[in-house]
Structure 1
Amino acid sequence: MANDAILETVGLTKEFKGFTAVENVNLRVKRGSIHALIGPNGAGKTTCFNLLTKFLDPTQGSIRFNGQDITCEHPAAVARRGMIRSFQISAVFPRLTVRENIYIPLQRSLGTSFHFWKSRAALAALDDRAMELLAQVGLESFADLVAMELSYGRKRALEIATTLALDPELMLLDEPTQGMGHEDVDWVMELIKNVAANRTVLMVEHNMKVVEGICDTITVLARGSVLAEGSYSEVSVNPLVVEAYMGSADSELRSPGGH
């Protein structure tokens, strides 16, 4: 694998009782880039994410991260290597404060588990780093707010902050702007660009405004296979890609802001 590739798959395939969800996917994610997986519903995007992070085992093929074969590793081992993902469904602890949500992943550095019953003073050693992370995602003024009181967009920002707390080399974001209004989408786009400054981002995203605005490379999946790959300007005029999106409720490929 070339030195500029942080993640690479060869012939990645996943079958479910005769149904092939992902077929012979060769993916190469360049270090320091923002790389998007797009495609109509049922294209295999989330299945591919689950294979990469080892929530599913491939039927065939291999996965390499930083030049190391991780095909047979467990999700926790992959996370410890520095590949951390978010999920489509909000994953914050709603009854904890924003700051306490950040304490949980930060405690990994202390080698302890989170003590829900202890006072905040017991976690004071983590406070500076927690506030630094919240500042990165624009949530420092919300540190003592209970997470359930955040807007949807800010909850997604908190999820990104908890992902950053694990110091990932590669962040995998599963539909980070799903369900957001236009203002939140613009804000989260800028947030992703900022946090990608020192790391690599691989994301599944339906919003073509986001894909066009911040992604360096786009891989288009259709029926589990790679249909096209390149910049937005390249894939958006590819006849095979346009055909795959025709009639899809997901997105108008050539219309910025379409879903």
Structure 2
Amino acid sequence: MSNEIKPSTAPASTTILETTNLVKEFRGFVAVNGVNLKVRRGDIHALIGPNGAGKTTCFNLLTKFLTPSSGTIRFNGQDITHEPPQKIARMGVVRSFQISAVFPHLTVLENVRIALQRKLGTSFHFWKSERTLDQLNGQAMALLESVGLERYAAMVTVEMPYGRKRALEIATTLALDPELMLLDEPTQGMGHEDVDRVMELIKKVSANRTILMVEHNMKVVSGICDAITVLARGSILAEGDYARVSGDPAVIEAYMGSDATELASPVEAAA
């Protein structure tokens, strides 16, 4: 009889990220109030809400840039509530930021290579010759190809249009091989053409991974998201697909006074 240990055939949980009664309080002001969030594995999940709803604070809690006042956060069933940001990044939770976070005076290829250095264990070996990173060129070019930037590899990043800088940021995020990507306002400040390009890019890179994003553009939310959580005053107001949440009277009331396009019907939002 063989003593070989066979891998488990039990299916992975459908929930990749879950919060229970998540609270963040700042000197008496409750920014996040009892949030119970469930993100399904493989979904593109949007976190939306009016200004001041607590979306960014919630993101900062999930990526451990802030410590919860109370409640728990679980990733793949493991409690990460008190883990530091670098540890959860190594576990596969990687975040992009509202402001494009790339090195402007390096080339596009060099930006991706820096993100890939972590796998070599040489992230801080700044005294080593740049030639030691040449082994990463093939992998970096493959990542650039995946986001449509391969022909810009030699361009200095500062010369790139804003929309392509955001695509580069997604490439550097992918370089960390995330299981869960958190995207903070990925289309903020973009024109229609760039928004369409980034929407297609997010759909493409969502294969075999989960995406949770904060997004104001309802065209993006209605066009690519499988699930939506609406926050208002730090609490969950509604959840479901776009058709469900856009028709919810409580959601409509919460958005009163906002840009009228924000609560367009799914057909109008996709136009």
Larger Rg: 2
The question of a shared fold, defined as TM-score above 0.5 by the shorter chain, is answered with yes
> Alignment partner for residue 32 of structure 2, among 19, 22, 34?
22
Q: Which residue of 2 aligns with 1:236?
A: 246
| 1:254, distance to aligned residue in structure 2 (A) | 1.3
- Among 199, 203, 210, the residue aligned to 2:209: 199
The structure 2 residue matched to 1:86, chosen from 88, 91, 96, is 96
Instruction: Supply the distance in 2 between the matched residues of 1:82 and 1:226 (Cα, whole angstroms).
Output: 25
> Could you tell me which amino acid in structure 2 is paired with residue 203 of structure 1?
M
Q: Distance in 2 between matches of 1:129 and 1:67?
A: 31
Q: How does 1:25-174 map to 2 (within 5 A)?
A: 25-113=35-123, 120-174=130-184
TM (norm. structure 2) is 0.92
SS at match of 1:198: coil
Task: Tell me what 1:175 maps to.
Answer: 185
Q: Aligned letter for 2:153?
A: A
SS of the equivalent of 1:43 reads coil
Aligned residues: 257
Runs of 4+, deviation exceeding 4 Å: 114-120, 255-258
Q: Is the contact made by 2:237 and 2:251 (CA closer than 8 Å) also made in structure 1?
A: yes
Letter in 2 for 1:197: A
Instruction: Tell me, yes or no, if the aligned pair for 1:104 and 1:114 is still in contact at 8 Å.
Output: no
Question: Deviation of residue 252 (structure 1)?
Answer: 2.1
Structure 1 gaps, min length 5: none
Task: Provide the rounded CA distance (Å) in 2 between the counterparts of 1:110 and 1:197.
Answer: 25
Task: Check whether the contact 1:8–1:65 (CA below 8 A) recurs between aligned residues.
Answer: yes
Q: What per-residue deviation string (whole Å, max 9, x for no partner) do you get for residues 144-187 of structure 1?
A: 10000010000000000000000000000000000000000000
2:224 to 214, 219, 234: 214
> Equivalents in 1 of 2:124, 2:50: separation in Å?
40
Partner Cα distance (2:29, 2:263) in 1: 27
Share of identical aligned residues, percent? Answer: 72
CA distance in 1, matches of 2:87, 2:155: 33
Q: CA deviation at 1:121?
A: 3.0
For residues 122-151 of structure 1, what are the alpha-carbon distances to aligned partners after superposition, in whole Å with 9 as ceiling and x for unaligned?
211101100000001000000010000010
Q: 2:4 aligns to what? A: none
